[in-house]
Amino acid sequence: MSETFFDAYDELLDRWGPGVERLDVPTPYGTTRVNCLGPQGAPPLLLLPGGGDSAASWFANAPVWARTHRVLAVDLIGDVGRSTVAQGRRIGSVADLNRWLDTLIEELGLERTTLAGHSYGAWIALHHALASSRVERLALLGPTSCFAGYRPGYLLHALPMLLAPTPARVRSFLDWESRGAHFDPAWLALQEAAAGFAKARPVTGPRPDAEAVRDLRTPVLLLLAGDSRAHDTSRVATAVARLLPHAELGVLSGAGHHGLQHRAAHEINEKVGAFIGSPRRAEG
Task: Give pLDDT tens digits along the chain (284 positions).
Answer: 578 999 999 999 999 999 999 999 999 999 999 999 999 999 999 999 999 999 999 999 999 999 999 999 999 999 999 999 998 888 999 999 999 999 999 999 999 999 999 999 999 999 999 999 999 999 999 999 999 999 999 999 999 999 999 999 999 999 999 999 999 999 999 999 999 898 888 998 789 999 999 999 999 999 999 999 999 999 999 999 999 999 999 999 999 999 999 999 999 999 999 999 844 443 33
Q: Which residues pair with 141 in a beta bridge?
A: 118, 223
| Beta strands per DSSP E along the chain | 21-27, 30-37, 44-48, 70-74, 84-85, 113-118, 135-141, 220-225, 248-252
The pTM for the full model equals 0.95
111 burial via Cβ count (<10 Å: 0-12, 13-18, 19+): exposed
Eight-state DSSP code of residue 194: G
The greatest distance separating any two alpha carbons of the chain, rounded to the nearest whole angstrom, comes to 52
Neighbouring C-beta atoms of residue 93, cutoff 10 Å? 10
**Residues 23/31, Cβ–Cβ less than 8 Å:** no
**Residues 216/246, Cβ–Cβ less than 8 Å:** no
